[in-house]
Amino acid sequence: MFTGRLLSRVSVALLKYSKPAHLARKYVPLSPNGLARSFITSSRVAFAPEQTEIKQEEDNQAPGKKPKKTKNASSSEAKKPHAKKQESPAQNSKVKPVITVDMLPPPPPATAYSRFLKDWYSKRPKSSSPTEIGTQSKDVAAEWHALSESERQPYIEDYRAEREVYVKERQEWFDNIDPVTLKELNKARTHKGKKQIRNPNRFPSDRKPLTPFFLFAAEYRRGQTEKLGVPEAGRRAGEAWRALSDTEKQHFLDRYKNEMDAWRARNGTA
């Protein structure tokens, strides 16, 4: 009886003044194998540090497994930064040209109606209100349509004379313009929503003659009184061409052969 009470009091005192199990970090070796148990009796078991390192080395050297690579500080320090690619002189020379006013193409001449419009507004005071501007626009358009051909002729002649000079200056500009400058100029125009500048004479003037079908289609469209779009006109011309007999098609075949022989003779490909 006395011995039992004494043991129970000792166990209560140990529990009261000892640390909880999760705070107990001190291990007492119980066997020569390196196993240890916590100060308070528990089922927690841990390997000694030496045993853990030996087990990891054995796992790394197991057959069929590649040894783990360890990062070496000296190798990382020895790595040199990648050298930047040096641009060749040809790449350095490709500099985008700066577009100036002198590089722009010559402006087209004002149309006959624009010239009449300028004269009409020069004889009247300037209006500031939107209502007056709209009324004047309607009035000037009505007066232009009311003019006779002889009254319009001075404006038309001035336009044609300036257009002849403009066509020559434009062709000279296309002959002398640098292709890189023209490309950059068209990029800027496309960014602003404008049409690109195209050379109207970029194709050779002495083209190959049209095929028999296109010769027939050109005559077919001239004989049509109804205004048709390109897809609809092509569809109708194709139906009419298929409806022709071989005798009717022979006229266009002979015409194509004669024009093709003449073209080959001019270009030395006969």
DSSP of 164-206: HHHHHHHHHHHHHS-HHHHHHHHHHHHHTTPPPP--TT-S-SS
Distance of CA 24 to CAs 42, 49, 51, Å? Answer: 11, 18, 21
Q: pLDDT 10s digit of each residue in the chain, 270 long?
A: 555 565 566 565 665 555 555 554 444 444 454 444 444 444 555 555 555 555 555 555 555 555 555 555 455 555 555 555 555 544 545 667 777 777 888 899 999 999 999 998 888 888 777 888 888 888 889 999 998 989 989 999 999 999 999 989 988 888 888 888 888 888 888 988 988 888 777 666 667 888 999 999 888 888 776 777 888 888 988 999 999 999 999 999 999 999 898 888 876 665
The pTM of the whole model exceeds 0.85: no
CATH numbers and ranges of domains, the chain: 99-201 (1.10.30.10), 203-269 (1.10.30.10)
